Amino acid sequence: MCSRRRHPLLASLLAALLVVAGLGLAGAPSAAAATPVRIMPLGDSITGSPGCWRSLLWNQLQNAGYTDIDFVGTLNAQSCALTHDADNEGHGGFQATATADQNLLPGWLAATRPDIVVMHFGTNDVWSSIAPDTVLAAFTKLVGQMRAANPSMKVLVAQLIPINPSSCAECAARTVAFNQRIPAWARGISTAQSPVTVVDQWTGFDSATDTYDGVHPNASGDAKMAARWYPALSALLTPGDPGDPGGPGSGGCSAAFRAVSVWQGGYQGEITVTNTSSTAAISSWSVNLTLPAGSRLTQVWNGAPTGTTVRNAGWNGTVTAGASTTFGFLASTSTAADTPSVTATCSAS
pLDDT of amino acid 15: 44
Average of per-residue pLDDT values in the chain:
85
Contact 344, 256 (CB under 8 A): yes
Rounded to 10°, the helix 132-149/105-112 angle is 30
Beta bridge pairs of residue 269? 259, 329
Each residue's pLDDT tens digit, 14-34: 444 443 343 333 333 333 446
Phi, psi of 99 (to 5 degrees): -60, -40
In one-letter notation, the amino acid at residue 163 is I
Quickly list DSSP for 259-316: EEEEETTEEEEEEEEEE--SS--BS-EEEEEEPPTTEEEEEEESEEEETTEEEE-TTS
Residues 6+ apart with CB under 8 A from 142: 96, 99, 100, 105, 119, 121
**pLDDT of 142 above 70:** yes
pLDDT of amino acid 349: 75
**pLDDT of 195 above 70:** yes
C-alpha atoms less than 13 angstroms from C-alpha of 239 in its C-beta half-sphere: 21
Each residue's pLDDT tens digit, 30-59: 334 468 999 999 999 999 989 999 999 998
**Cβ-count burial 42-75 (b if 16+ within 10 Å, e if not):** bbbbbbbbbbbbbbbbbbbbbbbbbebbbbbbeb
Contact 228, 288 (CB under 8 A): no
Whole-angstrom distance, CA of residue 59 vs CA of residue 70: 12
**115-133: average pLDDT:** 97
How far out from the chain centre does Cα 201 lie?
Answer: 12
pLDDT of amino acid 240: 58
Whole-angstrom distance, CA of residue 123 vs CA of residue 100: 15
Each residue's pLDDT tens digit, 221-258: 999 999 899 889 988 987 753 333 333 333 478 888 88
pLDDT of amino acid 337: 65
pLDDT of amino acid 34: 63
Burial class for 140, CB neighbours closer than 10 Å (0-12, 13-18, 19+):
middle
Whole-angstrom distance, CA of residue 19 vs CA of residue 25: 10
C-alpha atoms less than 13 angstroms from C-alpha of 212 in its C-beta half-sphere: 9
Each residue's pLDDT tens digit, 298-339: 999 999 988 889 999 888 888 887 788 999 999 998 876 677
Whole-angstrom distance, CA of residue 222 vs CA of residue 237: 22
256 versus 7: the higher-pLDDT residue is: 256
pLDDT band for position 156 (cuts 50, 70, 90): very high
Instruction: Give the sign of the dihedral formed by CA 211, CA 65, CA 115, CA 204.
Output: negative
